[in-house]
Structure 1
């Protein structure tokens, strides 16, 4: 997949093309239906498939006070889009000045002049783009007729409100990672570098990998989860590339902690040296809430139960 930031600098090999646009936060199942239509239409026409997205998220620029926490920000977002099989990704720097384009200026400069678009794929609910948030599907159809490109409108799929980034974020805030996975079409992922913590887990016989505070991806509600721990610095065919894990999110109330952390114990492994590695944590199922225990013995009993429960969940995942 080729990536660039200015539609006017589109590589010759990728124009003309079939294109779509959106924020695609989380690249959830609804997004994948649109992108699947993009890929099918591009293949039928013998043209490359190109997606246009924006960085930062437009709401972060125009209304920062109500900007959502992104499910899959930055490079994680781009990786998910690349995995769909598209040929090109235009990541347009979104600024206040850029937002002053009229809807017509946006469509013409980006898709007609920049990409040489032959077909534009949009969801039925596409609206609110361009200055004054006035752009919609009807305008795109009109521009297509005037400027010689086809418009393919993808109907709403099932419950559109259920297949949405906001719905996925709500599930994650509730700790319902299985519900979020139904929307996303995969377990939710958080990516970060393993850093030193308090080493309590190692002292208790359950060494954990602590993710840096600047990890990428929405962190679910406090609790204990079953999931997968992927060592991104290792090749996919390495036996320790992907490991089953019990994951804890919270402040470690038994030890009067105040800093919210994400830490993962790779099941039945005490031999791993993970510091400094870039890793991914995929949340599969919520096991229990974060609890304060009155003794280390009670905590150890709970942790042993978490390991058994995580094994059971992941054996069928």
Structure 2
């Protein structure tokens, strides 16, 4: 699925690009939509680290010629491994070489593995490579995977997530109107509406890069971002609210990205509004220090 296009994925993609250039054929990254889990076990869709749009951008940055999104249906889930390879890889994509992770599974009930893919490659005339999974240089027991990164994000450990992704974890969405409380407190916020299944970090306050995504020249601003329910005001709805530093602009309706650089603190309930405001000033100072110019 290449969710996150993390450092492990990048190794596979770079190898595929290398093989494609050597054979003078296009390099292609293939993914499915919707996520197979949603079809096989409805309601079990994992949180998404990247939108399809963001995934396509990251893949293109790695030099890939074609980003191919195939529909995943109930019929797809029931295809035996050999049928999957013949109909999709051979007949539809005309593959010359296939690069996958050593834990790659395919076909009905994930019965196919790299050994079967290699055998089918010999039968149908393509080369199959199973690459070793990438592990952390500081902790060999940690394998860089989408599952691991989702766990980091869910725990609010955005530094560990960045180490595995090779860049900060990003939320993308549209700025929508909130209840205006931030403006009343002297900290007007841009409230982000994110797509369904987005992997949102644990409740807390973070230092982020606020990226304006419209147009060819993306602007990067600094922000202190609150994720949570605003417990001081007995809020119930979980929100992502960004106070953009040193800028007084109206961002409503714009598509933006939030790159999570560091976690500043846990979400807290304050006994008074004055106590909250004092802490918000400290959060802004810490965000400014961590994000630099």
* TM-score under structure 1 length normalisation: 0.87
Contact kept, 8 Å, 1:49 with 1:87, in 2: the verdict is yes
Alignment partner, residue 33 of structure 1: 11
Post-superposition offset of 1:67: 2.9
Q: 1:266 aligns with which of 226, 232, 244?
A: 244
CA distance in 2, matches of 1:298, 1:34: 50
Alignment of 1:57-72 (within 5 A): 57-72=35-50
Alignment partner, residue 73 of structure 1: 51
CA distance in 2, matches of 1:49, 1:154: 17
Alignment of 1:34-183 (within 5 A): 34-127=12-105, 129-158=106-135, 159=140, 161-183=142-164
1:21-58 CA-partner distances (Å, limit 9, x unpaired) = xx111111111110011111111222110111111111
Contact kept, 8 Å, 1:26 with 1:77, in 2: the verdict is yes
Contact kept, 8 Å, 2:171 with 2:194, in 1: the verdict is no
SS of the equivalent of 2:96 reads strand
Post-superposition offset of 1:252: 0.8
Q: 2:175 aligns with which of 181, 186, 194?
A: 194
1:137-159 CA-partner distances (Å, limit 9, x unpaired) = 11111111122111222122234
Q: 1:280 aligns with which of 257, 272, 277?
A: 257
Alignment partner, residue 193 of structure 2: 212
Contact kept, 8 Å, 1:192 with 1:216, in 2: the verdict is no
Contact kept, 8 Å, 2:45 with 2:197, in 1: the verdict is no
Post-superposition offset of 1:65: 4.0
Alignment of 1:235-274 (within 5 A): 235-236=216-217, 241-269=219-247, 271-274=248-251
Post-superposition offset of 1:283: 0.6
Q: How many residues align?
A: 289
CA distance in 2, matches of 1:236, 1:297: 39
Instruction: List alignment gaps of at least 5 residues for structure 2.
Output: none
- Aligned in 2, Cα 1:63/1:160: closer, same or farther, shift over 3 Å? farther
* TM-score under structure 2 length normalisation: 0.93
Alignment partner, residue 274 of structure 2: 297
SS of the equivalent of 1:64 reads coil
User: Which deviates further from its counterpart, 295-304 or 150-159?
Assistant: 150-159
Contact kept, 8 Å, 1:229 with 1:279, in 2: the verdict is yes
CA distance in 1, matches of 2:175, 2:6: 27
Contact kept, 8 Å, 2:134 with 2:143, in 1: the verdict is no
SS of the equivalent of 2:74 reads coil
